Chain A
Amino acid sequence: MTKYILWRLAGSVPLVLGIATIIFFLVNLAPGDPTLLLLSPGMNQEVVEQMRANFGLDQPVYIRYVKWLGAMLTGDFGYSFSHSRPVLEVIKGVLPNTLILSAFALVIAFVTGIVLGTIQAVRQYSLMDSTMSVVLLFFYSMPSFWLALMLILSLSLYARNVWDWPIWFPASGMTGVDHEFLSFAGRIQDRVMHLVLPTLSLSLVLTAGIARYMRASMLEVVRQDFVRTAHAKGLPERVVVFKHALRNALIPIITLVGLYIPVLFSGTVFIEMIFAWPGMGRTLFDAIFQRDYPVVMAGTFFFALMVVTANLVADVLYAVVDPRIRYE
């Protein structure tokens, strides 16, 4: 098992280097230049050239690439033009926020998706199954940014101002304005309340997809011979479903972890914009418009790194669930 993990880890090193290279050339070969934003009308051409030289932009692209890669490998991602701070500091400030958001969304999506799909498969063709299919298809078809707006409208605005619900959820930020003055428990509650809507917006679409896959996978597995064997042993239905069928049905679902993580991260870009969530997605989005190359490159690189890590985790999960992979 350890050998398997190390092998996979070694395999992802060239992958990460390749990604870094592609990111660098995509960003640097694109038209536009960070100095353009700093220019004032009527500025002297010499000053412009000086500014480009200061940023190192006067050198040919391949020299810049070697320097950038060398620096990056030592953990130096450069200096942000727009934040006027080292890029690593900028990323350090926002990365945990995105991780919290996506981790919650991911866990909730998979847990509820697996549970709902299993229930549907066990009660195939029942009223509950068909109702859930329709509801899930609805969420599956909706874009997450639209869902986010509808959630804000209903669970935040209307719940508070129109329906007078005792509970409603804040629609922006990670914390309330009074966060600093709350007790420890109060702060936790404040954070959780702020997490609800963005997490829901991100996870509902994924939940629906996972539940659909899970239902199909479970229906496939319960037809297998070993499920009949389990029944023939006299095991109760509960054990047959949750011990024998579920674990086999989970194998194809693990593929979805790797597939859905990029979807999730691109989702965070929209969701962080809508909910004013100070995360990587929003920072990256702003950096693109400010032509803040170092932040764009580092941000994209970190996203890529997280996708690679997630796929690694999916591969390890495969091995945990399926002994046939473990021994190859």
Chain B
Amino acid sequence: MSAPILSVRDLRTWFYTDQGVAKAVDGVSFEVRLGETLGIVGESGCGKTVTSLSILGLLPQPPARIEEGSSIRFGGEELIGLEANKMRALRGNEISMIFQEPMSSLNPVYSVGNQIAEVLRLHRGMNKKQARAEAIRLLAEVGIPDPDRRVDEYPHQLSGGMRQRVMIAMALSCEPKLLIADEPTTALDVTIQAQILELLADLRGRHGMAVLLITHDLGVVAEVCDRVVVMYAGQVVETGTVYEIFADPKHPYTRGLLDSLPSIDNPGQRLTSIPGTVPTPTHWPAGCRFQERCAQAGDGCEVAQDLVALDGADRSARCWRSRP
């Protein structure tokens, strides 16, 4: 087991709104180790994107606030409360991020070469010519054909998959130690999804960076992740290796997620689904936050549950029924 590059402890990111305090992320802990891919899985609104934006300090404050006692350590340095200029020096350099929507994540009025070169000039101190040459090399590395020509094109001239490749090239330009990928394939066609995932896995191997992959797609998790953190209602409900999570889910929510995947073994069978929706973050239910939607809810669920360590390294679940 290698050393953690990123360690998040008891992260609580709350939003102070007119409707009350939205506890979007409410006590989340996990760590990402050198060279591994950690997946954060959960439905929309479970707090996974807010978690990733909190790491880079990209949330507008106010309304967001990272509460006292939260800690995000990156390579031994505390990121919460870090001076703005030190934080900027990390962003795009040591920690990079790619986003869900390649359509809108690139600036429409600048050429892709300009947008990649910008990062190189900022963090690497390259001049215009060097940055352009490096941008072309990066475009080639992420598998864009004819990079000499593409470097001068604008985002609207590229397909969605190409744009996501440009985003990846931009994120990789300074050889980051950690890449945060927030639903990188959600907006893409299935065939393109596979290509992008393959590219990410390939680049991770070549550059030895750690990847924090945020997704709601368990298929993606199975394909690329080493370990998984399952989130529900602003909390971590289960952790484990990919094998453990898929083979033996301990939390009813994880089980529900797995059951709602179509299976090749039982074609034609109706898919099961988890009833209801994620509760609103201003009013999390008391006790276990999943009990309203849980098929096995019973006595004992009205008490708030702790994340309990189980057999196996990094194995834990937030359900009293799963206690050893």
Q: Point out residues on A near B: beta carbons under 8 Å.
A: 224-226, 228-236, 244, 247-248, 321-324, 327
For residue B37, give the distance in angstroms from its CB to the closest CB of chain A. 19
- For residues 11 through 38 of chain B, which have their beta carbon under 8 Å from a beta carbon of chain A? none
The answer to whether B170 and A233 have CB atoms under 8 Å apart is yes
Q: Which residues of B contact A (CB under 8 A)?
A: 56, 58, 88-93, 96-97, 99, 101, 104-111, 118-119, 122-123, 154, 156-157, 167, 170
How many pairs of residues, A versus B, come closer than 8 Å at their CB atoms? Answer: 68
Assess whether A232 is in contact with B96, with CB atoms less than 8 Å apart. Answer: yes
Give chain B residues whose Cβ lies under 8 Å from the Cβ of A229: 99, 105-107, 167
Instruction: Decide yes or no: A233 and B107 within 8 Å by CB, A228-B58, A323-B156 being known contacts.
Output: no
Contact of B101 (CB < 8 Å), options: A225, A234, A327: A225
Q: Among B58, B90, B101, B170, which residue has its beta carbon within 8 angstroms of that of A231?
A: B58
Given contacts A225-B99, A229-B99, A323-B154, contact A236 B88 (CB under 8 A): yes
Contacts of A327 in B (CB 8 A): 154, 157
Cβ contacts under 8 Å, B90 to chain A: 234
A224, A234, A321, A322: the one within 8 Å of B91 (CB): A234
A230: chain B residues within 8 A (beta carbon): 107
A-chain residues with CB within 8 Å of residue B109 when the two chains form the complex: 247-248, 321-323
Interchain CA distance A255-B56 in the complex, whole Å: 37
Distance of A248 from chain B, by nearest CB (Å): 6
Give Cα A248 to B119, complex, Å.
20
Q: What's the Cα separation between A224 and B99 when bound, in Å?
A: 12
Residues of A near B111 (CB, < 8 A) are 323
- Give Cα A327–Cα B158 distance, bound, in whole angstroms: 13
Report the bound CA distance from A224 to B110 in whole Å: 15
Flag if A324 contacts B108 (CB, 8 Å).
yes
Residues of B within 8 A of A233 (CB): 91-92, 118-119, 122, 170
Q: Is the CB of A248 within 8 A of B56?
A: no
A225, A226, A228, A236 — which one has the most chain B CB atoms within 10 A of its CB? A226
- Find chain A residues with CB under 8 A from B58 CB: 228, 231-232
A240 to chain B, nearest CB (A): 10
**CB-nearest residue of chain B relative to A237?**
B84
A47 to chain B, nearest CB (A): 68
Report 5 cross-chain contacts, Cβ distance below 8 Å, ordered by A residue. A225-B99, A226-B105, A234-B92, A323-B108, A323-B109
Closest A residue to B116 by CB, please name it. Answer: A233
Alpha-carbon gap, A16 to B244, bound state (A): 75
Known contacts A247-B109, A248-B108: does B154 contact A232 (CB below 8 Å)? no
Once bound together, how far apart are the Cα atoms of A248 and B107, in whole Å?
8
Which A residues are CB-close (under 8 A) to B97? 232
For residue A324, which residue of chain B has the nearest CB? B156
**Docked complex Cα distance between A247 and B154 (Å):** 15
- Using Cβ atoms and an 8 Å threshold, which residues of chain B touch A235? 88, 92, 118, 122
CB distance from A122 to the nearest CB of B (A): 13
- A247 vs B92: C-alpha distance in the bound complex, in angstroms? 22
- A224, A228, A236, A244 interface centre (most CB from chain B within 10 Å): A228
B88, B101, B107, B156: the one contacting A244 at CB < 8 Å is B107
**What residue of chain B has the Cβ atom nearest to residue A235's Cβ?**
B122
A19 to B146: give the CA distance in the assembly, Å: 49
Q: Which chain B residues lie closer than 8 Å to A224 at the CB level?
A: 104
* Nearest-Cβ distance from residue B179 to partner chain A, whole angstroms: 11
CB of A232 within 8 A of CB of B118, answer no
Whether B92 pairs with A226 at a CB distance below 8 angstroms is no
B88 contact set on A, CB distance < 8 A = 234-236
Give A210 Cβ to nearest chain B Cβ, in Å: 20
Q: Which residues of B contact A248 (CB under 8 A)?
A: 107-109
B108 in contact with A232 (CB, 8 Å): no
Sorted nearest first, the 10 A-B pairs with minimum C-beta distance are A234-B91, A233-B92, A234-B92, A225-B104, A226-B107, A323-B154, A234-B88, A232-B97, A225-B105, A229-B105
